[in-house]
């Protein structure tokens, strides 16, 4: 398949990640995480997130979210999140079906929660008739491609903690956020009140590896058991850990994410102001959310694959990845301009 703008999941595995997998494929290592590669990952995560951080590699982002949130909530717990969050729209009801956790989704104009929006669902504490809102989940970047600044996370984390809630960050595209903010991971997680993170790697060049990073061990219970019961415990864990470690080596993860972000900015700049085309969100990382006539979008899609986001309103999503080239972007922008001009 030619280059697409449908998802950063369409991209292949970064060659340096493949090399790291091959390098880990030597001899015998103790299984289920007692290997030297996973031990090294723990040290690296503490360097980037703080001395109390502990990483639990898993297979995918849904597994990371479900295990992370199950580890911080009782059976009667509920999660306040956004209506556009991945766990609400794209995880097949896994938090509810697998973990029995209620979601309280809140509409937002830009995919971001605020202390004021949190208050619309953070109530009913002690009411036996209502699932208890005991966790807050935000995404960085959001499903609408927008970014939380550290001060925004601090404000909502303070509000959540004031209600006795745990703060979870879905970091499926956390590398894109770090590159866009030009900040270390701890600056928008540990240092601003996040308790637990779903740490993404697959969308940034990994083969299939994510991790749960516990930042506040006091908030978590039983995660070593929950990872197993949720079928997210890898026997040959060194190969998951090696992929995540590779992204930290020589700045690979940040370089890859910064490139993806730059390609989205290039696309936005190339089509800004074209008649018949608008934008529904700021382009802050590697996503461009555009609005155009459905018929035009369908003609463009005959040449380049991408997804409708909200067809009723003509909204589409264009994603860039670590392997998107300037030539890819320029050709796609030309196709957009051609079809809009017809």
Assign 330 to helix, strand or coil. Answer: helix
Q: Which secondary structure element, helix H or strand E, spans residue 278, and what is its range?
A: strand 278-279
Find, among 41, 8, 322, 45, the residue nearest to 179 by Cα.
322
Q: How many residues does the chain have?
A: 342
CATH 3.90.1150.10 at 252-341, yes or no: yes
The alpha carbon dihedral of 239, 240, 243, 244 has a sign of negative
CA-only gyration radius of the chain, Å: 20
Residue ranges of domains in the chain: 15-250, 252-341
Cβ neighbour number for residue 228 with a 10 Å cutoff: 12
The structure's pTM equals: 0.97
Both structure tokens of 127: 């009411």
Assign 164 to helix, strand or coil. Answer: coil
The confidence score (pLDDT) of residue 3 equals 78
Find, among 2, 11, 1, 3, the residue nearest to 176 by Cα.
11
- pLDDT values of the chain reduced to their tens digit, one per residue, 342 residues: 677 999 999 999 999 999 999 999 999 999 999 999 999 999 999 999 999 999 999 999 999 999 999 999 999 999 999 999 999 999 999 999 988 999 999 999 999 999 999 999 999 999 999 999 999 999 999 999 999 999 999 999 999 999 999 999 999 999 999 999 999 999 999 999 999 999 999 999 999 999 999 999 999 999 999 999 999 999 999 999 999 999 999 999 999 999 999 999 999 999 999 999 999 999 999 999 999 999 999 999 999 999 999 999 999 999 999 999 999 999 999 999 999 998
Name the H helices within 272-316: 294-301
The answer to whether 320 and 9 have CB atoms below 8 angstroms apart is: no
Omega before 246 cis (within 30°)? Answer: no
Find, among 191, 110, 192, 186, the residue nearest to 155 by Cα.
192
The confidence score (pLDDT) of residue 231 equals 96
| CA-to-CA separations, 303 to 104, 197, 255, 268, in angstroms, rounded | 39, 37, 29, 19
In the block, tokens 């990994």 appear at 206
CA separation for the pair 173, 176 (Å, rounded):
5
Fold of 15-250: 3.40.640
CA separation for the pair 329, 268 (Å, rounded):
10
DSSP 194: -
């Amino acid at each position: 398949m030619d280059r697409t703008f449908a998802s950063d999941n369409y991209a292949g595995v970064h060659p340096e990640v493949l090399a790291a997998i091959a390098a880990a494929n030597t001899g015998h290592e103790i299984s289920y995480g007692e290997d030297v590669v996973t031990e090294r990952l723990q040290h690296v995560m503490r360097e980037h997130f703080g001395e109390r951080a502990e990483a639990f590699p898993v297979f995918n982002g849904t597994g990371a979210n479900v295990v992370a949130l199950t580890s911080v909530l009782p059976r009667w717990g509920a999660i306040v999140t956004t209506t556009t969050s991945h766990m609400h729209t794209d995880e097949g009801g896994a938090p509810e079906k697998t973990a029995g956790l209620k979601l309280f989704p809140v509409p937002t104009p830009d995919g971001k929660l605020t202390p004021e929006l949190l208050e619309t669902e953070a109530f009913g504490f002690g009411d036996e008739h209502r699932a208890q809102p005991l966790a807050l989940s935000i995404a960085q970047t959001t499903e609408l491609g927008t970014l939380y600044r550290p001060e925004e996370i601090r404000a909502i984390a303070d509000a959540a903690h004031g209600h006795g809630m745990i703060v979870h960050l879905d970091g499926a595209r956390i590398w894109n956020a770090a590159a866009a903010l030009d900040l270390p991971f701890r600056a928008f997680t540990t240092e601003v009140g996040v308790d637990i993170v779903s740490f993404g790697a697959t969308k940034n060049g990994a083969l299939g590896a994510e991790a749960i990073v516990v930042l506040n061990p006091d908030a978590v219970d039983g995660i070593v058991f929950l990872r197993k019961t949720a079928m997210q415990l890898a026997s040959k864990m060194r190969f998951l850990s090696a992929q995540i470690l590779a992204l930290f080596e020589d700045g690979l993860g940040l370089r890859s994410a910064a490139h993806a972000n730059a390609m989205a900015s290039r696309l936005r700049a190339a089509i800004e102001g074209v008649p018949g085309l608008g934008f529904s969100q700021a382009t802050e990382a590697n996503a461009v959310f555009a609005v155009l006539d459905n018929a035009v979008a369908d003609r463009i899609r005959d040449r380049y694959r991408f997804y409708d986001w909200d067809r009723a309103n003509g909204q589409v999503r264009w994603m860039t990845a670590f392997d998107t080239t300037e030539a890819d972007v320029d050709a796609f922008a030309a196709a957009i301009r051609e079809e809009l001009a017809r």
